[in-house]
Amino acid sequence: MQHAETGCSCVRCRVPCAAKSSWVACHGRNGRDFSGEYVGDVVPIDKISTDRHRLDSYTEELAVAQNNLYAGYPWRFSHFRKTFGYANLPLDGIWLRAPYLHNGSVPTLRDLLNPSIQDPRTKDPIRPTVFYRGYDVFDQAKVGFVSDVNRFDDEGRSKDEPENPRKYFRFDTQVKPGGATPRDRNEGNSNVGHEGLEYGTTLSAQEKDAIVEYLKTF
């Protein structure tokens, strides 16, 4: 059965219609059709509930300063503005955009469909609190880059490539109030938000897997 909201057979791809309709409205129908009702709109931070440090770091004063750049020239900047949230972007090439969320705090698309805090009743998996960034080996199952802490040693080197001397960046999403600096406190690294029924985090594991398979085609 074809559904007008998506142009896709939900029986075939096993993606729940409600979840698909939500992302169609916010991000577009697929990797080529970006005609969703809310594509490009700014979602209030209180609704999406993601980390707000990046949002707060961009001030009215900075926007004014940017709009004064190149004054007197035809190419002068004029469209910078302070907003109250984050914009809905099209999802073309989403499979190659990891890590996810506005601060890069979720390593894979499959992890993004998990909640940030475990429900004690279900014990379902949650988003990784710590992972490695910078490795360029693609995770075809979860869609993102290999990042699991078990794949790296204590110094950040890949266990899969012992001959590779590079040390990768350990990204910690957990707030540490006692740190001396914002970086020590991991400010801006939180992986919360973009959660709930309309964001897919309450779906079954099978339904989440189906969404990831569908997003691979974008």
User: Which single residue is written with the structure tokens 């984050």?
Assistant: 86
pLDDT, tens digit, for every residue of 2-57? 333 334 444 345 555 656 677 788 998 888 888 889 999 999 999 999 999 999 99
Residues making up the chain, counted from first to last: 218
pLDDT, tens digit, for every residue of 83-141? 999 999 999 999 999 999 999 999 999 999 999 998 888 777 899 999 999 999 999 99
Q: How far is CA 105 from each of CA 2, 6, 132, 135, 178, rounded to the nearest angstrom? A: 35, 29, 10, 15, 21
Question: What pTM, to 2 d.p., does this model score?
Answer: 0.86
User: Which single residue is written with the structure tokens 């004063």?
Assistant: 61
Cα–Cα distance measured from residue 80 to residue 75, given in angstroms and rounded to the nearest whole number: 13
Answer whether residue 1 shows pLDDT above 60.
Answer: no
**pLDDT in the model for residue 123:** 78
Closest CA to 208 of 152, 148, 146, 141: 141
pLDDT, tens digit, for every residue of 134-159? 999 999 999 999 999 999 999 999 99
